Amino acid sequence: MNIVSTDFKFFIEYDSNPFILFSNEGAVLYLNKSAELLMGIHIERKIFDFALSYAPKSFGHKNTLLELSLGLFDFYGINVLYNNDDEIGIHLYTRPRGKITYEVKLEGYSKTDINLLLQANIELFNIQYSGKLYLLADYEIPELLIHQNRFSLLLRKIFELFEDSDSLSVSLKIKIGSMIVVEEKKYPIVILELQGSKRVTSSDMNIKESASDIHIDLHFKDNAITLEIPAIL
């Protein structure tokens, strides 16, 4: 066997599957890029308890095939590892995203800087919003094909749901490790997440239909909404 001196942290950092290293008390010691979005859903304790439940009985690792859904992610298996009593790690293996098999009509779509479009809608919302708004954006996202008018209308409807929220956090990033297939072509997925202290839920179904019309998947929580946007280039 060849002896390799490479620092393997780089390869773990950019693995498409989430990896989290916990202390024996459940504190997060390290998480890779793929795990950052997952942990943003505030489920670290659930994952830690899961790691303990499926850990090997002695030092080493244990692979388990299972069906697991956490937030926006679906997993088909996990690998729990530890070689001392102070740390325990878990790899979660992401199930590939399915295909969009219907014909995607892009009439009215145009190349768009999604960050600029989002900023414009935030400024409109801020005119009458009295709470605090926090934005975390990935400015390296390339221009996408977006139906600007319908997407802006969708954003305005979604922002309105958080008008009575004391604060609102907005994040925009690429979903690492996930691709969507549209008419046999692979595209990355952009995640837009809004989370407040409270929101209106009565119009969720209507908003979901509006999003589906422009090929966007919506996921609802009590105080949050997440959009999965195909990054059609």
CATH code for the domain in which residue 33 is found:
3.30.450.20
Q: Are 84 and 122 found together in one domain?
A: no
In DSSP notation, 44-91 reads HHHHHHHHHHT--SSSEEEEEEEEEEETTEEEEEEEEEESSSSEEEEE
DSSP assignment letter at 180: E
pLDDT of residue 59: 94
Total domains in the fold of the chain = 2
Report the predicted TM-score, pTM, of the whole model to 2 decimal places. 0.62
Q: Are residues 77 and 30 in the same domain?
A: yes
| Beta-bridge partner residues of 30 | 21
Same domain, 86 and 111: no
**CA–CA–CA angle 188, 17, 36 (5° rounding):** 80
The closest of 220, 88, 93, 108 to 153, measured between CA atoms, is 108
Claim to verify: residue 205 and residue 106 sit in the same structural domain: yes
Low-confidence ranges of the chain (pLDDT < 50): 101-102
Give residue 113's domain range: 100-230
- Has residue 3 been placed in a domain? no
* Domain presence at residue 77: yes
Whole-Å CA distances, 105 to 67, 101, 130, 145, 214: 33, 12, 39, 11, 9
Q: Is residue 4 part of a domain?
A: no
Task: State the residue for tokens 């997407």.
Answer: 151
User: Which ranges constitute the DSSP H helices of 138-186?
Assistant: 148-160
